[in-house]
């Protein structure tokens, strides 16, 4: 019944279209249709354009000004803020800290996570495989504020869990003000970050490993290749794409770190644990120097742009290879 009437209407329109076919009218109609279809894109274009692209472009303009937020006065200062960047010791320190973040994260969240994933996938029991995967992932599901505060307590000298543990095993002379010392603060934060993040990449690697055909391992076993040999000759080469992608994503993440540093030290002591994000916050929202903060924002933008383009290039190249 319903089907019948629908077919009838489509017949009708086909006849009408055939009778009055006019190339120009058709082209106009088709353009109108294309424009009308824009209604599907308009919501995303507006909200993304207005709240993502516009502020990021505006940030370049703000970075060439000095703004007084109390009087509302805005002065164009050209590239002054960028000259200040070059002379700012803390910016270089922050870049170094972001770099350290990247190095440690690649070691733990890519390579260690890969090894762990390979071990998990080597387990014969499916329930255990899922169990370990899920357990390691839990910290990644929790807010960095919670994990940051938790480790703030763990690192407390004398009363924190870490020192209590050191006392328990008789290493009390290693007891230390982990977050309160300029030399160790950033490492303590990075360690927390690895604790939180390795399970996420382990999970992704287990899925990449699952996609490798079992026959390859069976054949290798028949040929007498041991587990370690199989790891290096099968698992590693066949998950190389995922590894490459993970390295890029991890480095990109390392240059956008903010939450854990903010929660655990606020960049201190004596700016020793500042990263670019927290230094931007300090300059813009504590020192009210919006122009300079915007210039730091441009540095972060360049870092994310480079990693973003790398990612794009990597994905494209992979498509071509496959």
Partner 1 sequence: MSTVAIPVGARPARNPWVMLGKGFLMALLVSAGVLVLYPLIWMALGGFKSNSQIFSDPFALPNRWSFDNYVAAWNLGVRNFLFSSLLVTIVSTITTVFISAWTAYGLTRTKMFGKPVIVGFVLGGMMLSPTVALVPLVQMMQSLGLYNTHWALIILYTAFRVPFTTFLIRAYMLDLPRDLDEAAMIDGASEGQIFRKVMLPLCRSIIVSCIILHILFAWNEYLFAMIFTNQIDVQTLPVGLTSLMAKHGTNYAEVFAAMTISALPIVLIFFFTQRYFIRGLTEGIGK
Site residues for partner 1, window 261-280 (CB under 8 A)?
262-263, 276-277, 280
58 binds partner 1 (CB under 8 A): yes
- Please tell me whether the peptide bond between 149 and the residue prior to it is cis, using omega within 30 degrees of 0: no
Among 185, 199, 209, 261, binds partner 1 (CB under 8 A): 199
Gap between the Cα atoms of 23 and 30, Å rounded: 10
Q: Minimal CA–CA distance to 150: which of 112, 107, 193, 186?
A: 193
Gap between the Cα atoms of 57 and 297, Å rounded: 11
41 binds partner 1 (CB under 8 A): yes
28, 160, 164, 167 from 157: Cα distances, Å: 75, 6, 9, 11
Of residues 203 through 232, those in contact with partner 1 by CB under 8 A are 203-204, 207-208, 227
244 binds partner 1 (CB under 8 A): no
State the nearest-atom distance from the C-beta of 298 to partner 1, in Å: 8
Question: Which are the contacts of 297, defined by CB distance < 8 A and separation ≥ 6?
Answer: 59, 63, 280
92, 282, 287, 298 from 97: Cα distances, Å: 9, 16, 21, 17
**Contact region for partner 1 (CB under 8 A) — 91-99, 101-109, 161-169, 230-238?**
161-169
Gap between the Cα atoms of 285 and 269, Å rounded: 18
Among 20, 38, 86, 222, binds partner 1 (CB under 8 A): 38
Among 1, 24, 40, 214, binds partner 1 (CB under 8 A): 40
Q: Minimal CA–CA distance to 138: which of 207, 210, 198, 206?
A: 198
Comparison of 1 and 183: residue with beta carbon closer to partner 1: 1
Among 81, 97, 109, 144, binds partner 1 (CB under 8 A): 144
25 binds partner 1 (CB under 8 A): no
159 binds partner 1 (CB under 8 A): yes
Comparison of 93 and 136: residue with beta carbon closer to partner 1: 136
State the nearest-atom distance from the C-beta of 278 to partner 1, in Å: 10
26 binds partner 1 (CB under 8 A): no
Q: Minimal CA–CA distance to 261: which of 283, 238, 249, 278?
A: 278
């Amino acid at each position: 019944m319903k089907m019948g009437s629908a077919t009838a209407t489509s017949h009708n329109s086909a006849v009408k279209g055939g009778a009055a076919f006019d190339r120009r009218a058709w082209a106009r109609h088709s353009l109108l249709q294309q424009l009308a279809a824009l209604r599907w894109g308009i919501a995303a274009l507006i909200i993304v354009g207005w709240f993502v692209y516009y502020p990021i472009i505006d940030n370049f303009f703000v970075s060439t000004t000095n703004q007084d937020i109390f009087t509302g006065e805005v002065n164009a200062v050209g590239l002054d803020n960028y000259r200040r960047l070059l002379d700012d010791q803390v910016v270089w320190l922050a870049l170094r800290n972001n770099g350290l973040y990247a190095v440690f994260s690649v070691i733990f969240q890519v390579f260690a996570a890969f090894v762990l994933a390979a071990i998990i996938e080597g387990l014969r029991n499916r329930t255990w495989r899922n169990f370990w995967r899920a357990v390691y992932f839990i910290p990644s599901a929790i807010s960095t504020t919670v994990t940051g505060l938790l480790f703030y307590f763990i690192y407390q000298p004398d009363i924190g869990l870490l020192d209590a543990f050191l006392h328990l095993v008789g290493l009390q002379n290693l007891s230390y003000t982990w977050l309160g010392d300029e030399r160790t603060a950033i490492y303590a934060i990075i360690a927390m970050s690895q604790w939180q993040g390795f399970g996420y990449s382990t999970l992704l690697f287990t899925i990449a490993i699952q996609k490798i055909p079992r026959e390859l391992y069976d054949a290798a076993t028949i040929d007498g290749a041991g587990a370690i040999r199989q790891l290096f000759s099968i698992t590693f080469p066949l998950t190389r794409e995922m590894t490459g992608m993970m390295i890029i994503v991890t480095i990109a993440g390392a240059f956008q770190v903010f939450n854990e540093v903010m929660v655990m030290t606020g960049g201190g002591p004596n700016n020793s644990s500042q990263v670019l994000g927290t230094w931007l916050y300090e300059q813009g929202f504590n020192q009210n120097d919006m122009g300079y903060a915007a210039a730091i924002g441009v540095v972060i933008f360049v870092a994310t742009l480079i990693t973003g383009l790398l990612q794009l290039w990597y994905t494209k190249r992979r498509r071509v290879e496959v």
